[in-house]
Structure 1
């Protein structure tokens, strides 16, 4: 996630190079997933020397990840080394070190500081005063130079156009971004660069930015607002830095997220399915953990705490990561892992006690994600990549043991869409509390009705009970739910989650606001406490200070 570091990058005069292509790089194979390693040239050199060169049996990555841009008057790292705040890129060097590998390219199009979208407007050839004449023409020429360079590499290139388009840190204007994406695709076509595929990558971030600018991840229709069109998007991408079972324990312990990670990730993959597009996890890393030191921190404040020498507490992140990949092989065709010691990069330095956004901690705390810095993580990572779902993998199933017991193999054919209709007769036992519970699948109720697949028109004191929710040996941190309300967006009410009956102990009581319409949904994640272990009943109760309709409830689940 190179947020602001590439603001000064620009295209140089580009001597074109030709590298022999491999038949394996023609496309991401159907039913297989290509593993990409990233994300700077030194990171990739170290990965080659310290992992691949030392172990001939370690699966070779099918691709590498690097970054560039088209802004004038600075370097772009294509043919000579470019160092921006400690982030070093040299495409020629990396391509030589990884012959035949595909390339996933993060094309930075923001212009922090300022957020005036100059690169996007220049691509659109607008007649704005700040880009009129030579400057605007230089942007457009740099774009063509960049595309021609990638065309002449002979590699399969996955161009992440304005990656993490919805990240508030990028300040992209929605309309400018969509229009510029279309122009980039048009230039690829005009230049005959058939080896370049476009990737439309969401930040899939756990906290909303300003909804006025559509940085509203909790909005279920968020992605549609940013989509430039089926005719110009080849791959749908996402970033995955956090996982449900652990993100509140360390990474988000000192902040309040507005969405649960897997809710966001599932939304992106389901969007890809709905548009018949393959998907790519374009960025992934266990942010705020350190594999060498075995400690962890919050992402917005460097408050590192020791993990007591227990590598499996970091391993849990990887276990969830690979489990998610295995569950979504129907749509995922590539995953890119950032194997970086972030603390060695000045851009990401953040001393103990520093807070994100301060001069000495501009991008928050990142830690060290290098797998070679911990022997147990390295061995398990190797076994995961040996899984035959990956290109270059030859073994059956996951096989790795991240400390939670021997994993079970996933179904060979995962469902292409999540279930949308509950059983006719809700089961009285054995429902996974961590899976989506459709609100209409209640076992008992008072005052509720079902309308269009949701529990509707709950009034003060109305309740619905859900029996047989199995928590097993896991302790949930949050309850996640989707609701709507015709009440004004300034009017508050409460939705209680109780253990057992409608008068049982309260485990969560989020205060909510109206959404203005029963068709305007919001997803909320709220902390829970004192959830009974094993299998239990959970009852939801609506509370307000009047007798009018309060809310409709679509679904909930624990995480």
Structure 2
């Protein structure tokens, strides 16, 4: 895939808004570095433009106080004498809008990751790098070179005066062929940036050395050779000037060949192998690691479709949000599996199609005048209720700064929540027979376990007796539009955040369906619509927690309705409750 980033790279992240202490001591993990989050936790950041972050605040954080606030935010800037930098006034760079003062005021106490762009625009002359180094080449001798260096000092001083934990990504994605950096100039310039940070006393500013971790080699002559085992070593400016090791994670093995790279041939079979190499490098150098940029490139959360990243050839996902969910599942799984060294993660919560630089109409090819940077799609989590709810639950995990709950608890359609019992070998009968209704009118506690078989009325379902169910009975044979209704569910004066339930399914683990929860009848307002996957056996269970919305406090009727795309039975429901 061809990518060129004219002024900016990608990068965002989400976490919790607290003032982060600057910690230089060694935490529980065997890494050391400036601005390590306390107690071995992972800092989650959000970005990547000021409008992106304002929308996240207004559409998610301001309307849901239980949604963990970002522990940091991500923005971009440059030191080019003839370009705006966005530090104290709004700056529009090819549709990317930045206003550091505005974003910092909207996210009080949050850390700040800064992508410092040091490439030419356009060209591969490495003028910013050569100016930082202080070379006296004809094009930068005198006032122009001095202005570059003064702008660098002005940036560092601004970041110092924020009194925030700062992560300065110096020439981010240094090895991306689209940036066209010269290896030696880059390493020398990185060292000068660190020297100026120290000289100006900016002890709150940590340097981040971020690889593009890109699965396709560029010109090996210029060391854009990701498949080279010594690739990172060739670009490394030194332990004495690097505080953090960074990487980009736009592709995961379950996704990138099916959609994102279906129109191209990578030189690296597994993007994860590049991420692993970065973490191995960080461990070897005793440095903390950061996912500096991440987004499900090529997918649209609002439209549920996907495309190759180098050609806009969108195809529908047929309403199956879990096909995007698998990207998020691998992303959060990777973070959770590597917390010994991976101490920060940034996510790009952006509608790329609304940004001029990343526009790419249907049929356009990366590198063409109307699709310069390839196809990116829309990665805003708030544009899909299922993705937003699971994203929220991931951030509530106590491994993250401001996380307070145990474990991941999300279900992206890949079954991150393990079964609660060992599966017996028998299945229920395949031909349902009529069953009487349950009948438990009266006052039910919404926050206590409600057994599925205690329904007041039903359509199309049947009770199933089994020792693996709570109380020895569950309700099965759910087909499309079959439902269970529960009257008198009492929420008191409290609005619930989530519905939790236990289910099993004889469907394969890659086959999706939905269980909707309605307020009132089966045609009433939908308060939650978790997408589910088969568990592979009727006696293999999963417990799922899913965000609820639009549910008033007080007493109401709750109806659970199955939505299935075929005529076969979908699930057995054991119990549910609200939390």
Q: TM-score, normalised by structure 1?
A: 0.70
> Which of 161, 173, 179 is the aligned partner of 1:164?
173
Partner residue, 1:490: none
Residues 1:377 and 2:384 are matched in the alignment: no
- The CA deviation string for residues 443-481 of structure 1, in whole angstroms up to 9 with x for no partner, is xxxxxxxxxxxxxxxxxxxxxxxxxxxxx989xxxxxxx
> Does 2:259 align with 1:250?
yes
Structure 1 counterpart of 2:372: 362
Structure 2: stretches of 5+ with no match in the other structure = 9-16, 24-34, 420-507, 511-579
Does residue 290 of the first structure (1) align with residue 291 of the second (2)?
A: no
CA distance in 1, matches of 2:3, 2:292: 12
Aligned-residue offset at 1:407:
2.7
Select 1:352's aligned residue among 347, 362, 377. 362
SS at match of 2:258: coil
Distance 1:307 1:40, change over 3 A: same
- Kindly tell me: are residues 5 and 408 of structure 1, through their superposed partners in 2, closer, same or farther at Cα, counting changes over 3 Å? farther
Match in the other structure for 1:22: 19
Is the 1:240–1:265 Cα contact (8 Å) retained in structure 2?
A: yes
Computed over aligned residues only, the root mean square deviation of the Cα atoms, in angstroms, reads: 1.8
User: Alignment partner for residue 316 of structure 1, among 314, 326, 339?
Assistant: 326
Q: Residue 31 of structure 1 corresponds to which residue in structure 2?
A: 40
1:52 matches 2:49: no
Number of equivalent positions: 400
Q: Tell me the alpha carbon deviations over residues 76-119 of structure 1, each in whole angstroms, 9 at most, x when there is no partner.
A: 00000000111000000000000000000000000032201000
Q: Which residue number corresponds to residue 75 of structure 1?
A: 84
Correspondence 1:408-487 to 2 at 5 A: 408=418
Residue 479 of structure 1 corresponds to none
- Give the secondary structure class of the aligned counterpart of 1:320: helix
- Is this contact kept in 1: 2:291–2:345, CA < 8 A? yes
Going from structure 1 to structure 2, the CA distance change for 1:374 and 1:21 (only over 3 Å counts) comes to closer
Q: Secondary structure at the match of 1:175?
A: helix
Residues 224/29 of structure 1: CA separation in 2 closer, same or farther (3 Å cut): same
Query: TM-score, length-normalised on structure 2?
Result: 0.67
Is 1:102 the counterpart of 2:111 in the alignment? yes
- Give, in whole Å, the separation in 2 of the partners of 1:163 and 1:223: 14
Give the distance between the partners of 2:173 and 2:259, measured in 1 at CA. 23
Q: CA deviation at 1:246?
A: 1.6
- Can you list the C-alpha shifts for 1:358-400, whole angstroms capped at 9, x where unaligned? 0000000000000000000000000000111000001111110
Shift, 1:74, TM fit: 1.9
Shift in Å at residue 217 of structure 1?
Answer: 0.4
Matching of residue 333 in structure 1 with residue 330 in structure 2: no
The alpha-carbon deviation at position 405 of structure 1 amounts to: 2.6
Go from structure 1 to structure 2 and tell me whether the alpha carbon gap of 1:21 and 1:62 turns closer, same or farther (over 3 Å shift): closer
Counterpart contact for 1:21–1:154, Cα < 8 Å: no
Q: Which residue of 1 aligns with 2:123?
A: 114
Alignment correspondent of 1:229:
238
1:4 equivalent in structure 2: 5
Partner of 2:279: 269
Tell me how far apart the structure 2 counterparts of residues 208 and 295 of structure 1 sit (CA, whole Å): 28
- TM-superposed deviation, 1:23: 5.3
Task: Name the structure 1 match of 2:187.
Answer: 178
The equivalent position to 2:204 in structure 1, one of 188, 195, 202, is: 195
Question: In structure 2, do the counterparts of structure 1 residues 92 and 75 end up closer, same or farther at CA, with 3 Å as the change threshold?
Answer: same
What is the SS of the residue equivalent to 1:335? strand
Shift of 1:21: 9.2
In 2, the alpha carbon distance for the partners of 1:404 and 1:189 equals: 46
1:473-528 alpha-carbon deviations (Å, 9 max, x no partner): 89xxxxxxxxxxxxxxxxxxxxxxxxxxxxxxxxxxxxxxxxxxxxxxxxxxxxxx
Contact persistence 2:20–2:111 (CA under 8 A): no
The answer to whether the 8 A contact 2:4-2:372 is kept is no
Asked if the contact 1:301/1:364 (under 8 Å) is kept, the reply is: yes
Measured against aligned partners, the alpha-carbon deviations of 1:298-339 in whole angstroms (never above 9, x if no partner) come to 000000000000000010100010001111010011000000
Contact 2:329 / 2:416 at 8 angstroms: preserved in 1? no
SS state of the match for residue 158, structure 1? strand
Runs of 4+ in 1 over 2 A off after TM superposition: 1-7, 20-27, 404-409
Aligned partners of 1:146 and 1:406: how far apart in 2? Answer: 43
**In the aligned structure 1, how far is the partner of 2:340 from the partner of 2:264?**
34
SS at match of 1:230: coil
CA distance in 2, matches of 1:288, 1:362: 15
Superposition deviation, residue 245 in structure 1? 1.4
8 A contact 1:25–1:101 mirrored in 2:
no
Match of 1:131? 140
The answer on whether the counterparts of 2:299 and 2:306 sit within 8 Å (CA) in structure 1 is yes
**1:300–1:355 contact (8 Å) kept in structure 2:** yes
1:125 deviation in Å? 0.6
